[in-house]
């Protein structure tokens, strides 16, 4: 009995971990942010489907654990937390969430501090 409970917990934890893919910053940028037809652009302009929003949220969730080439850690943490919060709000269908996402996903504001070169 006890061993069954333990197995259940282990299997559940394994499934949960497999559900979230950790990606580096470049991958998130190239796959989710870059270009006029990007996932971010679609979702932030209200043209994305709920599945797009969920996918974007999954991508941006990788960011806080990664280290940007430049800028201080506190600023990176704050900016990426805002981006996740905004993507989550779109997933949750909160009013005004897409415009919050546009602000949180401002390319220049983040690049000028953290992108380097």
Point out which residues bind ligand HEC (CB under 6 A).
25-26, 29-30, 33-34, 40, 68-69, 79-80, 83, 105-107, 110-111, 114-115
Please give the Cα distance from 13 to 34 (Å, whole number): 33
As measured in angstroms, the least distance from the Cβ of 89 to ligand HEC is 16
Please give the Cα distance from 79 to 73 (Å, whole number): 10
State which residue, 11 or 107, has the beta carbon closest to ligand HEC: 107
Long-range contacts of 61-64 (CB under 8 A, 24+ apart): 61/20, 62/21, 62/22, 62/23, 62/24, 62/25, 62/27, 62/28, 63/25, 63/28
State which residue, 12 or 112, has the beta carbon closest to ligand HEC: 112
As measured in angstroms, the least distance from the Cβ of 69 to ligand HEC is 5
As measured in angstroms, the least distance from the Cβ of 51 to ligand HEC is 19
As measured in angstroms, the least distance from the Cβ of 40 to ligand HEC is 5
């Amino acid at each position: 009995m006890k061993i069954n409970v333990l197995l259940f917990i282990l299997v559940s934890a394994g499934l949960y971990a497999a559900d979230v893919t950790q990606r580096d910053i470049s991958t998130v940028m190239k796959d989710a942010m870059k270009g006029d037809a990007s996932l971010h652009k679609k979702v932030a302009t209200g043209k994305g489907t709920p599945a797009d929003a969920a996918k974007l949220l999954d991508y941006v969730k990788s960011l806080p654990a990664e280290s940007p080439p430049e800028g201080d850690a506190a600023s990176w943490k704050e900016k990426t937390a805002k981006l996740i919060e905004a993507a989550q709000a779109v997933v949750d269908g909160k009013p005004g969430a897409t415009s919050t996402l546009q602000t949180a996903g401002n390319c220049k504001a983040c690049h000028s501090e953290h992108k380097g070169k």
